[in-house]
Amino acid sequence: MAKGYWVSVYRAVADRARLAAYDELAGSAVRAGGGRVLSRDGRLVAHEAATAERVVLIEFDSFDLAVAAYESQAYQQALATLSDAAERDFRIVEGVD
């Protein structure tokens, strides 16, 4: 079965304190959903039209688990905390089996 991934590319962060609060809540929700953080706030090189603000990559054992973790009450609480504190492109993608 192919793995599932959350890919978050941040364009701008307006409130670092709220982002930190989101990180705490989201981290708990991700772990509860079986997710593993593969990359967050590491070094990056931005090409094309990309920004170098922040990229987060999280792996789940399946695409369905990735979707379920996003839809969980715990992660929705984290999203409410983040609200408009950051502008990002968030996607859930299926890996290659």
pLDDT value of residue 21: 98
Structural contact between residues 55 and 8, judged by C-beta atoms closer than 8 angstroms: yes
pLDDT value of residue 76: 98
Number of domains in the chain: 1
- Say how far apart CA 61 and CA 89 lie, in whole Å: 22
State the CATH number of the domain containing residue 82.
Answer: 3.30.70.100
Structural contact between residues 18 and 71, judged by C-beta atoms closer than 8 angstroms: no
pLDDT tens, position by position, 13-43: 999 999 999 999 999 999 999 999 999 988 8
Q: What percent of the chain has pLDDT over 90?
A: 84
- Say how far apart CA 60 and CA 64 lie, in whole Å: 9
Please check the confidence at residue 5 and state whether its pLDDT lies above 90: yes
Radius of gyration for the alpha carbons in the chain, expressed in angstroms and rounded = 13
Domain that holds residue 48: 4-94
Please check the confidence at residue 46 and state whether its pLDDT lies above 90: no
49: confidence class by pLDDT, cuts 50, 70, 90: confident
